[in-house]
């Protein structure tokens, strides 16, 4: 008899509608607080609307975690129907969603939250891995334990095109932004898959098209054991030409079985601004 398991994730897994449907994932949207109104991430507000508001007002929205009652209200119905739940959270160093999910789990039981120690489709890769574990007949507990082992093998990074969104969010100074603009610097933001914290990695110089190519080549050469099953290109809103540039480069490697392109959620996009792009993948070790 097949285990009765629900797979769920925070909306920041950025898998897109097709993959969410394919893997039967329930998503919990984070909150976007803009102009004294609260919105559900990517449900009743878009990243482009956030950008437009920023250009008009110079202000970024605040983002808020999924709260305990939101998790509890949804989970309890499934638990009452005899299901167990595996939930993949946005990294705990970035959001309190994981802590809130753990509180709901302690209250209800039969829930196995996983701190992805990552964001965007890096956590999305873990969601897909969890779906595959469930399909193989693993229990909810076994699935959660396996996914926890995979967090250190999941890699997320992004190229930031412009620093005005980071400056507005208090993540870099005006002086740093001006200096980067003058030197045409585009930093790579690296996610630490041990705890989900972020830091600035290599700083690239030049036009975005050149930077994206160099970034992809650098990332692919950094590891010799990348799992070829799938890789994600995830961006916060970028031209079709630039998207195709990165896709074609990955395709030319004749290595990856699936190359997915997805759009980042509002939570992710509001912190980094448009033209941010990353490639996200898993390694064997």
Question: So what's the pLDDT on residue 91?
Answer: 97
Question: So what's the pLDDT on residue 172?
Answer: 42
Q: Rounded to two decimals, what is the model's pTM?
A: 0.94
Confidence of residue 74 (pLDDT cuts 50, 70, 90): very high
Mean pLDDT of 201-219: 96
Question: So what's the pLDDT on residue 178?
Answer: 37
Element (H, E) at 199: strand 198-205
Q: Which of 82-86, 127-131, 177-181, 229-233 has the lowest mean pLDDT?
A: 177-181
Mean pLDDT of 12-38: 97
DSSP character string of 243-284: HHHHHHHHHHTT--SEEEEEEPPHHHHHHH-TT-EEEEEEB-
Q: Are 246 and 233 in contact (CB under 8 A)?
A: yes
Q: Decide: helix, strand or coil at residue 156.
A: coil
Average confidence score pLDDT of the chain: 93
For 154-282, CATH gives 3.30.1180.10
Q: Decide: helix, strand or coil at residue 165.
A: helix
For 5-151, CATH gives 3.40.50.10170
Q: Which of 50-54, 79-83, 185-189, 264-268 has the lowest mean pLDDT?
A: 185-189
Question: So what's the pLDDT on residue 168?
Answer: 53
Measured CA to CA, the distance from residue 50 to residue 235 in angstroms comes to 15
Confidence of residue 1 (pLDDT cuts 50, 70, 90): low
Question: So what's the pLDDT on residue 200?
Answer: 86
Residue 31 main-chain phi, psi, to 5 deg: -105, 140
Confidence of residue 167 (pLDDT cuts 50, 70, 90): low
Structural domain spans, the chain:
5-151, 154-282
Question: So what's the pLDDT on residue 86?
Answer: 98
Measured CA to CA, the distance from residue 252 to residue 34 in angstroms comes to 42
170 has a pLDDT exceeding 50: no
171 has a pLDDT exceeding 70: no
Question: So what's the pLDDT on residue 25?
Answer: 98
Q: Which of 7-16, 39-48, 79-88, 183-192 has the lowest mean pLDDT?
A: 183-192
Mean pLDDT of 163-182: 49
Q: Are 153 and 136 in contact (CB under 8 A)?
A: no
């Amino acid at each position: 008899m097949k285990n009765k398991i629900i797979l769920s994730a925070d909306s920041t897994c950025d898998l897109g509608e097709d993959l969410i449907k394919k893997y039967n994932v329930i998503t919990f949207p984070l909150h976007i607080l803009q102009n004294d109104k609260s919105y559900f991430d990517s449900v009743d507000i878009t990243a482009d609307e956030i950008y437009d508001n920023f250009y008009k007002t110079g202000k970024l929205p605040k983002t808020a975690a999924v709260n305990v009652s939101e998790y509890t209200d949804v989970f309890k119905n499934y638990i009452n129907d005899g299901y167990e739940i595996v939930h993949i959270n946005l990294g705990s160093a970035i959001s309190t969603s994981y802590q809130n999910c753990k509180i709901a789990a302690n209250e209800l039981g039969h829930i196995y939250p996983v701190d992805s120690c990552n964001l965007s489709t890096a956590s999305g890769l873990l969601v897909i891995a969890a779906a595959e574990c469930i399909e193989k007949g693993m229990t909810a507990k076994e699935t959660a334990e396996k996914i926890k082992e995979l967090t250190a093998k999941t890699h997320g990074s992004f190229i930031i095109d412009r620093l005005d969104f980071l400056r507005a969010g208090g993540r870099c100074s005006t002086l740093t932004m001006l200096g980067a603009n003058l030197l045409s610097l585009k930093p790579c933001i690296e996610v630490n898959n041990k705890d989900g914290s972020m830091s600035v990695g290599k700083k690239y110089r030049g036009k975005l098209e050149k930077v994206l190519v160099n970034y992809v080549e650098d990332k692919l050469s950094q590891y010799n054991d990348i799992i070829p099953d799938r890789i994600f290109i995830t961006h916060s809103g970028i031209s079709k030409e630039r998207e195709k540039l990165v896709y074609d480069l990955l395709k030319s490697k004749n290595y990856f079985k699936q190359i997915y392109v997805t759009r980042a959620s509002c939570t992710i996009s509001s912190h980094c601004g448009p033209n941010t792009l990353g490639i996200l993948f898993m390694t064997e070790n």
